[in-house]
Structure 1
Amino acid sequence: MYQLFQYCLNRVQQLSIWNILQWGFFSIAFFVVISMWLFALQRIDYDKEIALQNANLTNKNLNLIVAENFTQLLSRSDIYKLIAHSWLTLSPAEAESKIKAILASDQVFTRIAIFDENGQIRFASSPSKGDARLKPEVMRLLNHQQRWQVPVMSVGEISSESSELWHIPLLIPIFNHENKNGVLLIILDLGYALKLYQNIDIGETGIIHLLKSNGQELVQVRRGGIEIMNPNWMKLALDAKHLSDDNWVGEIKIHEAPSMASLKHIQPYPFYILVSREINDILREHQSLKQKYFVVLTLFSLMLLGGAFWLNLMMQWQRRSFNMLAKSEDEKNLLIANLEGERSRALDIASKDHLTGLCNRRMFMELGASHLIRNKRARSFSAVLFIDLDRFKSINDSLGHHIGDLLLKTVATRLQQMLRASDITSRFGGDEFVIMLTELEKESDVVEIAEKIVSTIAAPCLNLDGHDIQILASIGIAISPRDGNDLQALIRHADLAMYQAKQSKSGSYAFFDPSLNSTNILQFELEQRFTSALLNDEFVLHFQPKVEVSGFKIVGLEALIRWNHPQQGLIYPSEFIPLAENTGHILDLGMWVIRAACQQIRLWKDKQIPAVRVAVNVSAQQLKDDTLAGYIDACIKEFGLAHQDLEIEITETSLIDNFDEVKSKLKKIKATGVTVALDDFGNGFSSLSYIKTLPIDVIKIDKAFIADIKNSHDDAIIVNSTITLAHNLGKQVVAEGVETIDQLVHLKTAGCDQVQGYYFSRAVSAEKAEALMIKEVLFHNET
C-alpha cells in the first residue's frame, strides 16, 4: 500500500512540474511581448521629444543668424543718422553731398529724406509721392522726441502700390543741443536684405517671419521664395507675453497648424524675427519610424507567441519521452561520477610537478594571479622569489640523475616545511624553484625569509643514496606592487635579480633593480644620442594633410617629427619629446623643425608642385625664447618663401605661464604674416578670453570632441558652438582626428572649414605628401 501511495505522489509531482513549465512559457512570452511594447512606446515618446528639441534648437540657431544679419544691416542707418545730424547742425549742402555719395553704393537703403521740426521735407535723395502718407507718424515722433529727448526708430506705413511693397520706410528722430529737431526717413529694400535667405532649405513648412514691434507681419521667407504680407494671410498667434520676451521659444499655431517657433527681438530696432516649422513636418520622419516599430513589434510578437505555442507542443512530446529517459538516469550518474574522478586525477597530474609534488608552472600562474588580485584589494605586499641551485648541473652530471632527483626532492621538502600554507611553492623545471610570499605586512619581512631559505638549503643533505651533499642557492626577489602588478613581469624581474645575485656571490639573494629595465636602458641611449642625432639628420618630417570640407581639396599640411633611429627604426614623438623637454634639447629640436619645414616648402616650389601652407608645432619652452619670431622670419627669408607659406600651432597648455608675454610674442610673429593656430582647443583650459584676445587665425578642435560626436549630444553641442563662435570672430576652424564618414558629415553640416585625420590620410613622408598635393583633391584614405 505504501509503495502505491509513493508512486501516485510521484506522478502528481511530475504532472505539476510539466503544467508549471507549460504555463510558464506562455507567461514569459506574454510578459516579454508586453515589455517590448511598453519599451517601444516609451522609446517612441523619447524620440518624439528629441525631434522637437532638435527642431527648437535649429529654429533658435537660424533665428540667431538672421537676427544678427538684420542687426548688421540696420546698424548701417547710424551713418545716415550722423550725417543727418550734421545737416541740422552744420552745412546742409555738405551733408546732402555725403548722403548722395554713400547712397549711390548702398544696396540696402534706396532712398533718404529729412523732415524738419514742422514735419516738412527739407531734403530728399529722390522724389516720392508717398512722403505725405508718413507725415502723421513723423509728427508723432517729433512730439515724442520733444517730450523725452530719446531717438526711437519707427516703421512707417507701407505703400500699397505693388512697386513699393518691398520698400519699408524707417523713421528715426534726430536732434541737437540747439533743439533743432527732425526726422530721418530711410527706405529699406527688403528684396536685397532678404535675398540671402531665398535658397535656404528650412523644411517644407519652415517659415522665417519678419515682424514689426507690435507683432504685425511684414514678410515671410519660405523654401525657395519670399512673400510680402497681404491682408489674406493668417494672423500670428502672438500676444503681449510673447513680444515682451526678447528670446522666446515655444509652440504656436501658424495657419491653424501647431508649429514650433523661435521669436527674437532685433535690439534696438522695432523688428522681431520669428522662425517656425509645423510640428507634423518635424515629426514626419518620426511617424514613419513609429509605423516601422509597430510593424516589427507586431511580427515579433506573433513569432514569440507562436514560438511559445510550438514549445508547448514540444514539451508534450518531451513529457511522453521523459519516462524513457528516467530509466537511464542512474547509469548516467554513475558515468558522471567516474568522469569526475578521472578529471580530478588528470587535473592533479596537470597541476603538480611529477618529481617533487610541488605546483608546476601552470598551477603557479593560476594561483599567483588570484593571490595578486586578493593582495591588491587587501593592500598588502607580495613577493616572488626565483631560486636557482648553484652547481646543480655538475652534481647531476657527476653523481647521476638519480642523485639529482633525490636532491631536488629534499630541497622541495625543506621549502614546504619552512613556508606558510598561504605561500605558493613551485618547480618550474630543472633546478629552478619559484615561490610567492603572500599577505606580507611590510617589505622587510622578505629579507628574513630569504635569509632563512638560503641557510635552510645550505644545510648538508645527508645519505642521498649513500652521498652527503651540500648545495647553495641564489635567490632573486621582486616585490609587488613596487616591481610590478603583473605576475609575468614579477617572475621576469625576479629572474633578472637572481642572475644578479649569482654574479655577485654564490648562495646569496638580491632584489630587483629597476635600472636593469630595458626601457630605462633605451631612454638612456636616446638621451646620449640626441645631440648627434640632430647633427646627423636622423630626424625627419612627416606631413598630414588638412582637407577643405567643401570640396575635399588639400589646403594645408601639418609637419610632424619622427626619429629615424639607426638601430630602433622609426621612433614616434611620444617617446622622445618628453625626453627632449626634460634635457633642454627641445629648443634645438623646435628650431630644426621650423627650418626643415621651410626647406621642404622650397623644394616643392622648385618642382612647381602646388604647395600649400605647412603648419609646425611650437612648444611652451620655445614661446619663452625671445629669438623665436626673428628665427622664423630669418628661415622664411633664407629659403625665399612668403610668410603665408608657414603656420605655427600652439597649445592651450603653453599659455598657462606668462600669458601676456606669450601674447606679445605671438603678435610679433603674426605681424610678419605668419598664420597662428590654437591647437587641441578644448583639451586644456578652453577660456574664451584666449580666442578673443590672442592674435590667432585658426582654431583646431581637439580630437577628443570629434571621436564620439555622432553619439555624444554634449560633444556635438560643444563642436557646433565652437564653430559658430570662431566664425563670428572671423577665424577658421579645423577639426582634428576625423576617422569616419559620420564625423565628416556632421562637421560639414556644422560649417567646419577644414578637417584632418585618418579618414583622409595618416602622416606620410614628404614624397607621399608630394603625390597627394599633385592630386589636389583627396578622398577617403588614399594613402
Structure 2
Amino acid sequence: MSPPLERDAITISSLQGVLIALAMLVILATWIFAGYQLRQNREQVLDEHKVILQNLSLVVSENINQVLDRTEAFKTLVRLQLSRGELPAAGPLATLMATDPVFTRMTVYSRDGRVLNSTSATNLPRLQQGWQASLSHQRTWPINILPSEALGKSWSVPLAMPINTPGRSDCCLLVLEMDLGYLLNLYQNLQLGRETSIHVLTAQGAELLRAERGGLVTGRSAFDNTVLLKSRLNQGTTRDLHTDNQRYYLGHFAKLERAPLVIAVRQSESEALAGYHRQRNKFLVSVVIITLIAAGGLLWLLRMMHVREVQLRELQQSEQRNMKLLARLRREHEDSVKAASRDHLTGLYNRRLFTELGHSHLAGSKRQGRFAAVCFIDLDRFKAINDTLGHKVGDNLLQEVARRLTDNLRESDIVSRFGGDEFVVMLTAVKQQADVEQKVQRLVDVLAAPYPELEAGGLATSPSIGVAMAPRDGMDIETLIKHADIAMYRAKRGGRAQFRLFDSQDAAQEVSTEELQALIPEAIERGEFQLHFQPRLFLRGYETGGFEALVRWESPQQGLLMPAVFLPLVEQQQLMPALGYQLLRQLAQQLRQWADEGLDILPVALNLSASQINDPTLPGQLRMLIEEYRLTPGWLELEIGDQDLQHLGDQAIRQLRLVSELGVGLVMDDFGSSEEGLQRVSRLPFNCIKLSPALIRHIRNSFDDNVLLSATISVARKMRLRVVAKGVETPDQLVYLKLAGCDEAQGFLFSRAVEEAEVRDYLQTPKRKVKL
C-alpha cells in the first residue's frame, strides 16, 4: 500500500475512534439521565400516594370521632337517670337504640361486672374476667375499649365509659356496642385498591377490624404494628413488611385523642407504583429506540467510512479482482449453459441441446454426403421397476443406462435423455445402413445385459429402439425424431429387446393401398381400431387437465398403424361416420369404466371429421351414449378442425349447437391454420381453441418470436376461450407459452399418446413433474 493511502487509512481510523467515543458518551449520558429521571418520578409517585393515604386516614379518623361523639348523648341520658336514684329504664333506651344506626346495644354494669340494666331483651351474663385489668390501662382516655371476649361476641366493638354517681358505690360502667356492619356500610363506597387496607387498632396493638376491597375482616394482623404504637407522634408515615406475601406497604397512621384507637391505612408499593411502572416501560422503550437510532447512525457512518477505506484499498487490487471476476463469470456461464443443456440425473444432453446439435450435424452430413441415424430408445418394464423397487433404483438404472450408452458410442455421436425412460441417440457420419443396424444391435445387447452393480442385484431390462435414417426418412431433426418414435413403437409391439427401422412408404409394412382398403371394413367390424390418450397439462402447476383421444389401428396382419396411413382411406370409403360412432362408444365405455373404479374423470377430446359433423344422427348418437353409460356430458369434448369449419352448412352448424346444448364441449382444432379462424369461432359455442403446431414450431424462448401467436392467445382469452397448445416439444416453447398466457399444452415434451392402462396413473396423480 502506498504511503498516501496509508496516511488516509490512519486518519479514517482515528476519526472512527472519535465518533465511537462520542456516540458512547451520548448513549451513556442518555441512560444516566433516564435513570435519574425515573428515580425522581418514582419518589414523586410515592410521595403522592403518601399524601393520599394520609388524607384517607384522617377521613377515617374523623368518621370514628363522629361515632365517639354519639356516645356522649347516651352517657348524659344514663347519668341523668342515675342522679335521680333510678336505674335507666330499658324501654326508652331500647327505643332510642332501635333508631340508632351505629350502636346495637347499650348495657349498664356495676363495678363488679353485674348487669344493672340493658336494652337487650335477653338476660346478659356478667362481664368475663380480665375486663377490669384492661380498663386500668386505659385511664388516660375518656372512652375505653373492652375486649370483645368480655362480652362473648366478635362482630362488635364494646365502648366502655365509667359513670360516677353520688350515693352509689357499685355504679357504674356504661357499655355501648358499636356495630361493625355500620363501618362496612361506611367504607364500602371507598375505591380501595386490591392491596389497600384500613386498620382499626387498639392502643395495645390488637386489631379490631380491617377494611379491604372485599369487605371487613377480623382476626390476626399480617403487619408488625410495634413501631406506630410506640411512636410519640399522633400521626405519621410508615413502611411495613407484610409477613404473608413479603411485600412492603406504604402506610399512614393517626391516633385518636378520645379513645385508645389507632387508624392505619396501608397500600402495597407495587400497587402504588403500577402506573409508574407502565410509564417507566414506555420511557425505557423510547430510550432504547433513541439508543438504537444513535447506534444505527454510528454504524451507518462507520460503514460508509469502511466502504471508502475498502474502495481505496481496492484501487491497488483492481486488476486482480477483475481477473477473478471474469474467471468467475466464465465459470458461471459454463455452469448455466451446462444446466440448460444437460439432463440433471444422467448428465446427458437434454432435448433442447440434442435438437440444436442435431441440426448442425445434419447439415454437416449433407455436405459430406454421409448418412445420419436417429435412434429412439425406450426401456421395457421401466415403469414396473420404478413402481415396485422404488424411484431410487429407477434413477440408478437410468444413470447406468446412460453410462453404457456413452461407453459404447463414439465421441462424435450425440447421446441425450428426453425424459422418463426415453433416450435419443444420433449416430453421425454413417457410411451405410448396415453399419447402423450393427451399431443398434450392439446397443440392444449392451442395454439388455443384467445390471449387477445396482442395489437390486440381477435386475434386468431391455430396450425397444426405433431408427430413422437421414436423408431417407427426413431432412430435419424434428421429423427424424418423430419417425424414430414411430419405429420404436413398432419395435415395442413386436416384442422386447428389438429395434425397427422406419419405413417411409404409405403402407409402412409393404402393403398396398388396395389391400388396406380391403381390410378396413372388416377391421371396423372386429373393433381393431383402438384409442390412445395424450395428456394435456395445465401450464400453471403442471396438473393434468384432460386428454386427447387418438385412434390407432392394431392390425393383426400389419401391426400398429398410425392415423395418417389409414384415415384418408376410411374417408375415401365413406366409412368415417361408422368408425366415428364406434370410437365414440369405445370412449363412453372407457369413461364409465374409470368412473366405476372411483377415479376422478378428466375431460377427453375426440376429433370429428367433416363427414361426421354433417351426419344428422350425431346429436342423437351422443344423447343415447350419455344416457346409456350414465356419463356427465362435460367429460366429453369434440374437436373440429379449423379447415373443416369452412365447409360446414347451416344444418351442420345447427347440429353442433345441439351438441353444445347437451353439455358436450366443443374445441376448435388446428386454430391458426386459416385466416378466418376468429370469424368462425364466434359463430359456434366453442369452449376452447387448440393452437396449430405451425404457430409454435419456431419459438426460441423470446416473447418477440411470434407476435401473431401472442395476439391470438390474447384475443382468445378476451373471448373467454380456453387456449391449448399442441405439439409442444421444447422447453423454449413451454416457457414462451406460459408467458403468453396459454392455459394448457400437450406434446412430446410431456408425453406421447399412451394406452388406457397408463392413463390411470395420470388420473390418480394429476400433479406431474416437468423436467426442462
Question: Do both proteins adopt the same fold according to a TM-score greater than 0.5, normalized to the shorter chain?
Answer: no
Q: TM-score, normalised by structure 1?
A: 0.36
* Rg (Cα) greater in structure: 2
Q: Relative to total residues, which structure has the larger helix share, 1 or 2?
A: 1
